[in-house]
Structure formats: structure tokens, C-alpha cells
Amino acid sequence: MEKIKGLINAPFTPFHADGSLNLDPIPEYAALLVRNGLKGVFINGSSGEGYMLDEQERMQVAEAWMKAAPAGFKVIVHVGSTCVKSSRRLAAHAQEIGAWGIGAMATPFPRIGRVEELVKYCEEIAAGAPDLPFYYYHIPAFNNAFLSMYDFLKAVDGRIPNFAGIKYTFESLYEYNKCRRYKDGKFDMLHGQDETILPCLAMGGAQGGIGGTTNYNGRVLTGILEAWEKGDLETARELQNFSQDVIDVICHYRGNIVGGKRIMKLIGLDLGPNRTPFQNMTDEEEQAMRAELEAINFFERCNK
């Protein structure tokens, strides 16, 4: 299977003020991402509040991104849910509309506590779109599926024909690299933490990744990859450190899903509020966050 090179963005889902779905900004959103060097989108995931969307809304979002995506821009649809039958329907829909691939994180309920349980879950979902590459989205902080991904790769190898790899959003660089080296790099290990792109490049992997802060800081994050390719380590370090400065700011405002989504408004693309149970930022918090971002010269370097 084709391995992804470059950075894929995990977009926010736009909502109206009343919390209803708002698809109107998506064409402008897609153009912004392309302009800033992103190679595709991973929609309806954690940044996109996918679990707060009903099945029809998730299909509508997928269709809107497919219409907005230019040629060569990859649309990967996150289809994970607490109902595996729903996930299979979403996977089949993604294949029908011509998406590039699908992915799924482990269901948050019931908790998946064994590798075999996870393999079975992925196997059933992936079968809904047999012609598309399937990525497992490893983000145990969201679902408590703290399982060995190396053991998972060994268990899934040869069992799911369209299994492509893992979106790895966890802190263990050792495990990430161990998985990347499995059978001489058989599977695509997509780096999932914007905080540690450079260390993973230095270990020999991370040719592809999926990020959340790429929504508004993609120019800097793609710059890390470009500097590394040129052998410019000092520039790569500076860009990685700046990306961490930005993440430090959003951590003061309930993280990327809440704080990051509000940054989109500050750079000129208002995507609306977050859905319940997220606690939306107040106007006062927005002003405070703007001041913190100005202090690190964010608006001179962010996505335009």
C-alpha cells in the first residue's frame, strides 16, 4: 500500500452558534490547508468531535470534504464509534464517496483491554470498506486502550487485508520506532504528536503524520520536515520548539479541541463553538489566549 508522506490535518467540525452542523466553511478550510502545505485531512476524529456527531452528520461532513478536496488531497474518514455496525456503515459510505482511506480509534466503551479484542474490532470495521486502506488510531488517553502496539501489529499482520498502519498518538518514542521497524517497515506508522516530530525524524521514521495543531500552525510543522530534508538541524529545532510554545498556550485553554478551534477564529476562519460536553471558551479567555499567542509572535508565523 502507498505510504503517506507529509502531514495530514485533523480538521475541526464547523458548527453554527446553536450547535448545528455548518458545512459552508469547508471549501475555504480546504484551501487554507492546501495553501499551507498539508497533504490531506483525517476527518471526524478527536479534533473533529466525531463522537458528538450522529451517523448522518458524519456522512454529510465526509461528503462536504470530498467535494472540497482538490486532486491529490487525501481524505481519510475516521469511522470509529461505540457501535461497530455504525462504524461499518460509515466505512462503506466512505468507500462509496471515493475517500482515500478510513481509520478508527478504539471505542471508549466498553473498554478494550486485550489485543485480540482490538484486532476483532478493527477487523469488523475494516471489512466495511475492503478497497480502502485502514488505519488504527492509537490514542489511549481518550479510551484507556493502553495496549502494546507492537503486539497489535503482530496479531493483525495477515489478518486484515486492507490494514495499512497506525496513527500513533502516544508518548512512547521507543514503541513508535519499534513498530516502525516491524518487518523492515511493513506498515505505515503515522506520527500523531506534533510535539515530537523532530525526534521521530531523527530516529528514521515519521515520513508521514497526522496532526491537530496543523490546523493553524501547519506552516511551521511542515517546515520541520523541510528543514530536516535539507539537513538544517538548527532550523528544524527552532521550528519544533516554536510548535511546543504554541501547544503550551492551548494547554492553558482546554487543549486543541477547544483552544485550538478558537484559534481558527483568530486567524480568520470562524468554525463556531464546540458541542456539549466541551466547555467553550469565554470572550475573556479568547482575549487572554490572543495575548499569549501575540507574545510568541504566533500571528506572524501561523497558517494564512
Average pLDDT over residues 40-46: 97
Counting beta carbons within 10 angstroms of the beta carbon of residue 276, is it exposed (0 to 12), middle (13 to 18) or buried (19 or more)?
Answer: exposed
Residue 222 CB-half CA count within 13 A = 22
- Which pairs count as long-range contacts for 192-195, CB under 8 Å and 24+ apart, including other chains? 192/137, 192/138, 192/139, 192/167, 192/168, 193/168, 193/169, 194/221, 194/243, 194/247, 195/243, 195/244, 195/247
Catalytic annotation, residues: 137, 167
- Name beta bridge partners: 104: 136
Residue 42 pLDDT > 80, yes or no?
yes
Q: Where are the chain's structural domains?
A: 6-232
Q: Which three cell numbers stand for residue 214?
A: 496543523
Average pLDDT over residues 148-157: 98
CATH class assigned to 6-232 = alpha beta
What was the pLDDT predicted at 205?
66
pLDDT confidence tier of residue 203, bands split at 50, 70 and 90? confident
What was the pLDDT predicted at 206?
67
pLDDT confidence tier of residue 207, bands split at 50, 70 and 90? confident
In this predicted model, what pLDDT tens digit does every residue of 275-287 receive, in sequence order?
A: 999 999 999 999 9
Cα(274)–Cα(143) distance, rounded to whole angstroms? 20
What was the pLDDT predicted at 43?
98
Q: What stretch of H or E contains 81?
A: none
